[in-house]
Amino acid sequence: MPDVERITLSWREPGREAGGEVSARPTITASDERALMQAQHLVLLIHGYNNDTKDAKKAYDGFHARQRDLAGGERYGIGRTFVEVYWPGDAAWGIVSFLFYMGSIRHAIQTAGRLAGYLAEHTRNSARIDIVAHSMGCRLASELLRALKDRPIPPQIERIVFMAGAIPTFMLQHRAPPRRLRPSYDRVLREGARSLYSGADMVLSFAFPAGQTLAPGAEGFLPTALGHAEWTDATVPYNLDQQQNPGAGHGDYWGWNDKPRPLQCAKKAAEEVRSYLQFPSTGSREVSKRVMMANNILEPRTNETGREKVGRDMPVHA
């Protein structure tokens, strides 16, 4: 039985497995780029802070293993093309690499801007895009929406699953003047998002507020992370669904750790991803319906602001 389609898209400098700057152009094979341009429904996987290439691959392999478990060993995610994004959210500083946190914010923003341009040029005009992100990868995903906001016809970002989101909640508040990430969340995200949070996450409890406070720019003073607790502010987006992952530590979401407690938390996260993104499996009664939908041209839709979403005319690549 064929496995799911997995594409590697790396924004690391060529030849660097750890550290380095954000590459001006991504590393991707010709066959993967063709598959990307032909795909009807993409799922971007975005790892978090302080993950080198080996760690990120282990995380993505864990994600697929947990989804395969939920599908009972059958093929899952029918009609989806998984794009595994690699970015330099780490430093090659040995045992003190964790001190790169402030630099990882800058790299997340840079990667988001370059990824936005690449997706605009290399995806079909009818392609749908979902995102599964973890930790600082959630900030990258949110910055991706911001980078797409002012494009005349942005790629169709449908849904996002934030796992242990390292996003200050104040950046998503609907205030006057608007906070950094809220206008693009409202304008670009077509369906909504699901946030998986845990009060047992010590990284988001202690390291995140300190790191944000020390970071340059308007990163906030001891802010609360989206992935640390349920956000109950009056300005919470109506389409942000929040689900607790009880007892989950910061690294207990992708599914690479097979110890009992982390594995249990990763299975919970996998179930939330599967249900929210509606992954059909081989033999599922949903498969034929979803494949049929994927083969149809999407009709323009209107969001709550009344802005019409239309398809994009793309150049034909040889």
At 25-59, the pLDDT tens digits run 999 999 999 999 999 999 999 999 999 999 999 99
pLDDT for 22: 97
Q: Taking 70 as the threshold, does the pLDDT of residue 128 lie above it?
A: yes
Q: Is the pLDDT of residue 144 over 50?
A: yes
Q: Mapping DSSP to helix (H, G, I), strand (E, B) and coil, where does residue 307 land?
A: coil
Contacts of 163 (CB under 8 A, 6+ apart): 132, 133, 134, 135, 138, 196, 227, 253, 254, 269
Give the pLDDT score at 178: 83
Residue 265, SS3 per DSSP: helix
Section 255-277 average pLDDT? 97
Contact 286, 180 (CB under 8 A): no
pLDDT of residue 230: 97
When the candidates are 3.40.50.1820, 3.30.2320.80, 3.40.50.450, 3.40.440.10, the CATH number that belongs to 5-309 is 3.40.50.1820
Please tell me the predicted confidence (pLDDT) of residue 98.
61
- Pairwise CA distance, residues 91 & 22, whole Å: 12
Length in residues, the chain: 318
C-alpha span between 91 and 13 (Å, rounded) = 13
Neighbour count for residue 75 (Cβ, 10 Å): 17
Q: What pLDDT, on a 0 to 100 scale, did the predictor assign at position 291?
A: 41
Q: Residue 164 and residue 210: Cα distance in Å, rounded?
A: 17
Can you tell me the distance from the alpha carbon of 173 to that of 185, in angstroms, rounded to the nearest whole number? 10
The more confident residue out of 18 and 295 is: 18
Q: What is the DSSP letter of 170?
A: G
Domain ranges in the chain are: 5-309
- pLDDT digits 0-9 by tens, 145-196: 999 998 888 899 999 999 999 999 999 999 888 899 999 999 999 999 999 9
Is 304's pLDDT higher than 90? no
Answer whether residue 297 shows pLDDT above 70: no
Q: How confident is the model at residue 301 (pLDDT cuts 50, 70, 90)?
A: very low
User: Does the structure show a pLDDT above 50 at 243?
Assistant: yes
pLDDT at residue 308, rounded to an integer: 39
Would you state the pLDDT for residue 282? 67
pLDDT of 303 > 60? The answer is: no
Q: DSSP letters of 97-117?
A: GGGGHHHHHHHHHHHHHHHHH
Edge to edge, the sheet with strand 22-27 lists 22-27, 5-12, 81-86, 41-46, 128-134, 156-163, 192-197, 240-244
- Mention every residue, 6+ apart, whose C-beta is less than 8 A from residue 25: none
Mean pLDDT score, 263-284: 90
pLDDT at 232 (0 to 100): 96
> What are 73-126's pLDDT values in tens digits?
788 999 999 999 999 999 876 655 567 888 999 999 999 999 999 999 999 988
100, 93 in Cβ contact below 8 A? yes
φ/ψ of 215, rounded to 5, equals: -70, 145
Q: Are 213 and 221 in contact (CB under 8 A)?
A: yes
Could you tell me the maximum CA-CA distance found in the chain, to the nearest angstrom? Answer: 54
Q: Which residues contact 100 (CB under 8 A, 6 or more apart)?
A: 49, 50, 90, 91, 93
In this prediction the pTM is: 0.88
pLDDT value for 75: 87
- 239 pLDDT above the threshold of 70: yes
pLDDT tens, position by position, 215-225: 999 999 999 99
Question: What token pair was written down for 88?
Answer: 């330099």
Q: What is the mean pLDDT of the chain?
A: 88
